[in-house]
Amino acid sequence: MASDTSVETLAAQLLQAVDGLIDWGAIPEDVRKKKYSIVSKRVAGIAKSAKSLNEFLERFLKELAGDALFVSRDKAKQLKDILDQVKADRKREEEVLQYIKRHPYLSVVAYAARIEEGR
């Protein structure tokens, strides 16, 4: 159940799932080094004007990946599963969006820490 998981964790899981779709290996090393710093500023900018979680994710994904995206079935399923989990409860969905809007930098800190720990 979505309500069993904290809003912090759901926000981090969502951003992490989007991050997982990006082929970071194809991105120049100097950009990759500042990856989280750049991503956090993007999240802050996009979240500010996003009216729904879907809109936010779509624009965030586009910002990172450009127009075309080649993804494995597994990675896509990961994003879909977590999104379904959040959207199962409309109140929760709104809470997650508001959390990312209020705490864009912290949301990125959280997902970056999760990735570092191999979660």
Partner 1 sequence: MGQGTMRVSERAMSKEYFPIGVLARTEQQSKIPFLDDLSHHMVVVAAANLATGSPEAVLASLMHDMFKGLMVWRAGVRGSNWLHFSTKPGIYEKLIPPSIRVNAKQVESFIQKHHDSRDIANPIRSVESIQGPVTSLESKIILDQVPSKTKALVVKLSGRYRWLLAFYINQVLKQQLTDHYGNTLREILAVQNVVYHYVPANLERGYSDIDDCLEALNPKALQVYRDGDSLHITLPVLRLSRPMTISYGKFNALEQTQDSLRVPFGEALSLMAFDGATSGKAKLLYVDAGFTITLDQSVQTFLNKLKGLPHIAYSASDIARSLEGTFRGSYRCSFCGEGADSKHRLSKTSKTSRFTSIQVLLDSRLYVCPTCAVGYELEEQLRRKQDHFRIPMPALVSKIRLRPEYDELINFIRGDNYLMSLAGEMWLQILSEVWYQRYQQRDDASYLLDPKALMLPVEVEFIPQAIYPLLHTQQKKFALESSLASSLVLPASVKDIDADEFQSIRRAYQHLGVSADSLLKRIKQIYEPLYKGG
Q: Is 116 in the site for partner 1 (CB under 8 A)?
A: yes
29-61 burial, b if ≥16 CB within 10 A, otherwise e? Answer: eeeeeebbebbbeebbebbeebeebeebbebbb
Residue 92 touching partner 1 (CB under 8 A): no
User: Taking CB under 8 A as the rule, does residue 69 contact partner 1?
Assistant: no
How many helices, marked H, and strands, marked E, lie in the chain?
A: 7, 0
Smallest separation, CB 79 to partner 1 (Å) = 19
User: What span, in angstroms and rounded, lies between the C-alpha atoms of 49 and 71?
Assistant: 27
Q: Binding to partner 1 (CB under 8 A): which residues in 13-52? A: 36-37, 40-41
Piece in contact with partner 1 (CB under 8 A), picked from 21-29, 45-53, 59-67, 110-118:
110-118
Task: Give the H/E segment covering residue 15.
Answer: helix 7-21
Residue closer to partner 1 by CB (options 75, 114) is 114
The site for partner 1 (CB under 8 A) is made up of 6, 8-9, 12, 36-37, 40-41, 102-103, 105-106, 108-110, 112-114, 116-117, 119
